[in-house]
Structure 1
């Protein structure tokens, strides 16, 4: 059991150097306790350490360092645009053009809102198409759809706005009684 019988035995205490369990009072400090590899029964080949990647981090390869050209690198990862890295396509202009074109066509009856949104769709669509031609974006269809829908939105909204203006100016009763819309007169015949 224990060398010192007046001390209670701790069943979780590590065994001492002679294999006898130590009590609570005689437990060695944490740094002096046995580790998994130095435990009795754990031979040199039984418990292997975790694998180490060539870069030194566990499970992750080392990043490729860019050429320094005599200057210390600011980051271990190369910036976008350097060889070996593919930049994400900038598809925002074409997508914005298509969304604005759809809203311009649907919202043609909002008294000129379709004209404004249609013009914006045309502008964003042309910018998006230029980005596709330069290779910065890959949504050619969305940019073209934004240009077409923007043009249709401008045309339909302008026609609708022109019709509304024509209808207001051609109404002969709109100028009479403009002061009091509720004015009525009752004529009784004798």
Structure 2
């Protein structure tokens, strides 16, 4: 069943749309008499000679399959882990075995994170430095707690 005849607003225009708009409901448009190249494919489907999305891939396929010349994503995990462990060591220094272990790990991971940031592999040198500082503060708090326990004879 052919679509009902609809008169365009003017030469080269689609009814109820803007000039050059795809016609609604798959109706091919006014055709070559009004400057169009002729009936094209249905709305939303590329023609046989047209590549999808104008010949450009929409997104890279997945992590690791980037476009040529694209920089790898920064690996900021060590600095972030250092900051989290440093905060845990500083806040939970009363639980001295946990605080001592997390403080040491925070200092080590923060140093590794700073090294990655200096090589340009990471973008968070400040976060890694904060992790080193918080981890060192947690270790110092544990040592002060030990000194207080020894001094009081507990």
TM-score range, shorter chain: 0.5 to 0.7
Is residue 2:87 matched to residue 1:102?
A: yes
Once superposed, which parts of structure 1, at least 4 consecutive aligned residues long, lie more than 2 Å away? 41-53, 55-63, 161-167
Is residue 2:42 matched to residue 1:57?
A: no
Kindly state the Cα deviation for residue 98 of structure 1 after the two structures are TM-superposed.
Answer: 0.8
Structure with bigger helix share is 2
CA distance in 1, matches of 2:136, 2:79: 15
CA distance in 1, matches of 2:111, 2:75: 14
Q: How does 1:82-161 map to 2 (within 5 A)?
A: 83-161=68-146
Is residue 2:149 matched to residue 1:164?
A: yes
CA distance in 2, matches of 1:92, 1:117: 16
CA distance 1:88–1:123, shift in 2 (3 Å): same
CA distance in 1, matches of 2:73, 2:140: 35
For the pair shown, the structure with the greater C-alpha radius of gyration is 1
TM-score normalized with structure 2 length: 0.62
Q: Which has the higher relative contact order, 1 or 2, with Cα contacts under 8 A spaced 6 or more apart?
A: 2
Q: Structure 2: where are the runs of 5+ without partners?
A: 3-25
Q: Do the aligned partners of 1:112 and 1:161 also contact (CA within 8 Å) in 2?
A: no
CA distance 1:158–1:56, shift in 2 (3 Å): farther
CA distance 1:151–1:59, shift in 2 (3 Å): same
TM-score normalized with structure 1 length: 0.52
My pick for the range that moved more, 127-136 or 110-119, is: 110-119
Q: Do the aligned partners of 1:97 and 1:122 also contact (CA within 8 Å) in 2?
A: yes
Paired residues, number: 119
CA distance in 2, matches of 1:105, 1:164: 18
CA distance in 2, matches of 1:58, 1:126: 48
Q: How does 1:24-35 map to 2 (within 5 A)?
A: none
